[in-house]
Amino acid sequence: MPELPEVETVRAGLDRHVAGRTVRSVRVLRDYSVRRHVGGPVDLAARLEGRTLGAVVRRGKYLWVLLDDDEALTAHLGMSGQLLVHHASDAPDHRHLRVRLELTTPGEPDRVLDFVDQRTFGHLAVAELVPTPDGGPGGRGSDLPALPPAVAHIARDVLDPDLDRDAAVAAVRRRHSEIKRALLDQTLVSGIGNIYADEALWRARLHGARPTDRLRTAQVRAVLAACEDVMRAALRSGGTSFDALYVDVNGSSGYFDRELAVYGRAGLPCPRCGAPVRREPFMNRSSFSCSACQPRPRPVRRVHSKPCVP
């Protein structure tokens, strides 16, 4: 599933190519891809046609395009969703095309914005923006004090200049969980998924099973700093692509997979110490870590009192 660097790459591309354009028409080719829109596909088209797309905003892994009247076109890419921009004259009919928006701007060639989704876990919807306790959306693109309802519970991410680092560190340490599980909790810090959690933990020299409530404040702060570092590095490479399911708006793949230290490298030498990278099961997925640099935590000893004998 795309994580923050991939979604931010898509956001930036959309902001360059579709912001300021007017929606001429909307075609929904698969109703399931707009299942989160309350009024269904006909209402979605009616609420978009004739409206001008504004800035493109992101929080965590969620995207939305601002409209007028405090509304937004929201998008979640799921596992395989793609938002692709083409010139209308040569727009291909992709076999997994789900929704197409035809866009127009006076004096410029028409374009189309295609939502392509092979596995159909992604979705589009038009939603009203609602006030949230922590104000603006985070990410980049807007400072409006409101979010789409589906995003209101999502925390700010490590690239957000308004993230309260002290509060985030405290929230992680209060969570009675493993540190990797805490990193994947989007209500604590958003945008981090399996790939970048493993890479950040390697940089911080911590095993993902370390209990959060036994980590020092400095250790949690170091993990969040490592998350920021690895995501900024991934952004410079356009994100991570292991297959053709993640591409930017121009259809280009990211190449940060060439810089991964441990993720997907089981049995290969750690770039830091040369010890083999190990693979361990984790929440129906896999975790990757260095067998030497990231020692497993010792089991917590529990002291049981002896029963009273009358």
Which sequence positions are flagged as catalytic?
2-3, 61, 285
Task: Give helix 165-174 / helix 217-236 axis angle, nearest 10°.
Answer: 120
Phi, psi of 103, rounded to the nearest 5 degrees: -115, 145
The CA distance from 119 to 1, in Å, is 11
Q: Tell me the CA end-to-end span of the chain in Å, nearest whole number.
A: 59
The CA distance from 288 to 265, in Å, is 7
> Among candidates 152, 183, 6, 2, which has minimal Cα distance to 78?
2
**At 41, is the secondary structure helix, strand, or coil?**
helix
